[in-house]
């Protein structure tokens, strides 16, 4: 009986152990904040100075962290751009899942993309597109981004539907939507970014629907 009571006492977490989840959560939030600060600082410098002219030391200084801390979060400058794109993709998939249930898969994709680009500053979006276009390393990462985005969109659309019979349709719509973003973005840039990005999204999807008639 005494041994049982002692075992029970040993099983009870110590005050330090009880505080562990809260401490872990705070540490994770601080790490996320630092990561976001590095990303924002890097993107601002890339747009101001250009990708090649911006050094890792520049980014670390602007984010008020050490060079060593930079490498805790990113392996290279290219990784910062990739992380920025992945964050945008995650937000886009969440927006698709949240679209009304009565929308078609294609309309849900279009509406979510239009809402996402509406939050962008057109000048910054154009500058970032040119930055990626003019840098071979970023071009390669951009292609990989679209491949990942297509898979993520397909998963989001399938999750939104919830029907196994719609999985093929979800993959096809994701392929179309990803292509619309890539081709539409290139066309928007070539035309001098005269239209608002969301207006160009509408034009692009209108063209897709015309083709599918």
pLDDT in tens, 52-97: 899 999 999 999 999 999 999 999 988 888 877 777 778 888 888 8
Range(s) of the domain holding residue 54: 11-74
Q: For 33-51, what is the mean pLDDT? A: 89
Contacts (Cβ under 8 Å, ≥6 apart) of 19: none
Would you give the DSSP letter of residue 103? S
Amino acid 7: pLDDT: 43
Whether residue 17 is predicted with pLDDT greater than 70 in this model: the reply is: no
Q: For 111-139, what is the mean pLDDT? A: 81
Same-domain check for residues 19 and 81 = no
3-state percent helix, strand, coil for the chain, nearest multiple of 5: 85, 0, 15
Amino acid 4: pLDDT: 44
Same-domain check for residues 191 and 116 = yes
Contact in structure between 71 and 77 (CB atoms under 8 Å): no
Lowest mean pLDDT among 15-29, 41-55, 87-101, 146-160: 15-29
Same-domain check for residues 68 and 85 = no
**pTM (2 d.p.):** 0.68
Same-domain check for residues 113 and 189 = yes
Same-domain check for residues 92 and 142 = yes
Number of domains making up the chain: 2
């Amino acid at each position: 009986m005494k041994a049982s009571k002692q075992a029970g006492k040993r099983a009870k977490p110590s005050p330090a152990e009880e505080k562990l989840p809260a401490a872990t959560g705070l540490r994770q939030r601080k790490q996320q904040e630092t990561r976001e600060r590095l990303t924002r600082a890097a993107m601002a410098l890339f747009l101001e100075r250009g990708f090649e002219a911006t050094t890792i030391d520049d980014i670390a200084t602007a984010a008020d962290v050490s060079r060593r801390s930079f490498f805790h979060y990113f392996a290279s400058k290219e990784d910062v751009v990739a992380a920025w794109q992945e964050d945008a993709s995650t937000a886009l998939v969440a927006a698709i899942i949240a679209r009304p249930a009565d929308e078609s898969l294609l309309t849900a994709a279009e509406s979510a993309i239009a809402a996402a680009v509406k939050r962008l500053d057109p000048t910054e979006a154009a500058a970032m597109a040119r930055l990626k276009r003019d840098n071979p390393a970023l071009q390669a990462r951009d292609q990989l981004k679209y491949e990942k985005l297509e898979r993520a969109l397909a998963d989001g659309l399938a999750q939104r539907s919830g029907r196994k019979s719609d999985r093929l349709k979800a993959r096809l719509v994701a392929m179309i939507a990803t292509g619309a973003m890539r081709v539409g973005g290139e066309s928007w840039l070539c035309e001098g970014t005269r239209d608002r990005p969301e207006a160009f999204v509408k034009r692009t999807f209108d063209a897709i629907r015309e083709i599918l008639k």
